[in-house]
């Protein structure tokens, strides 16, 4: 499933980039397209790690049935994928916000630039939290090495609290991204049916 979705996503992105570069009126890529290109560049190896390393090492299996080496490998790969996930989510949100910047005018642009800054700051903060969730960093996966005769010593943050906080901020950011274009629909010189269609389009894109 992950492989097929990744391949379809890459093909769709390539088709869009080729069209924008060679067949569209502007013949160049905007910031939102560059964000998607970078996201695809990071997402492809991330998906490969997930399919060919994380799952075979023990992801989705009962933890009690894994060998200590499998636990360590799973934790190490999950650490890498967690980093790429944070970056990918930031790039997707940035792409959507840059797209809004390209179509909206007026005061809402100040809100959109502030939203871009918010995405970067929150992603950077959470990225640092992921990288340094345990001190030393190697303790993030070595704490599962129960068979070691010389285990790595360290301490970690409260990951449950950090995870819930990130989820809350992410949901709030998604709702904010949804509300921004919807707040402009009523200003469009369209029939109410077309306004509903535009609202549904923005809702679909955001979700």
Global pTM exceeds 0.85: no
Look up tokens 């940035």; give the residue.
94
For residue 25, the SS3 value is coil
**C-alpha–C-alpha distance, residues 31 and 37, integer Å:** 10
pLDDT-based confidence at 104, cuts 50/70/90?
Answer: confident
**Contacts (Cβ under 8 Å, ≥6 apart) of 100:** 108, 112, 180, 181
What mean pLDDT do residues 3-13 have? 78
């Amino acid at each position: 499933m992950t492989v097929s979705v990744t391949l379809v996503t890459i093909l769709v992105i390539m088709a869009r980039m080729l069209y924008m570069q060679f067949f569209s009126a502007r013949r160049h890529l905007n910031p939102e397209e560059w964000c998607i290109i970078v996201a695809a560049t990071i997402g492809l190896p991330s998906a490969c790690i997930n399919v060919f390393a994380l799952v075979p090492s023990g992801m989705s299996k009962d933890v009690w049935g894994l060998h200590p080496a499998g636990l360590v490998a799973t934790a190490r790969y999950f650490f890498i994928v967690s980093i790429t996930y944070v970056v990918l989510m930031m790039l997707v949100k940035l792409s959507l916000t840059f797209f809004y910047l390209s179509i909206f005018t007026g005061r809402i642009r100040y809100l959109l630039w502030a939203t871009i800054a918010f995405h970067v700051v929150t992603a950077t903060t959470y990225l640092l939290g992921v990288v340094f969730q345990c001190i030393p960093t190697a303790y993030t996966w070595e704490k599962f090495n129960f068979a070691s005769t010389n285990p790595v010593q360290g301490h970690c943050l409260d990951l449950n609290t950090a995870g819930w906080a990130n989820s809350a901020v992410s949901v709030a950011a998604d709702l904010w991204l949804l509300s921004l274009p919807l707040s402009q629909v009523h200003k469009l010189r369209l029939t109410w049916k077309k306004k509903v269609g535009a609202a549904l389009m923005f809702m679909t894109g955001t979700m």
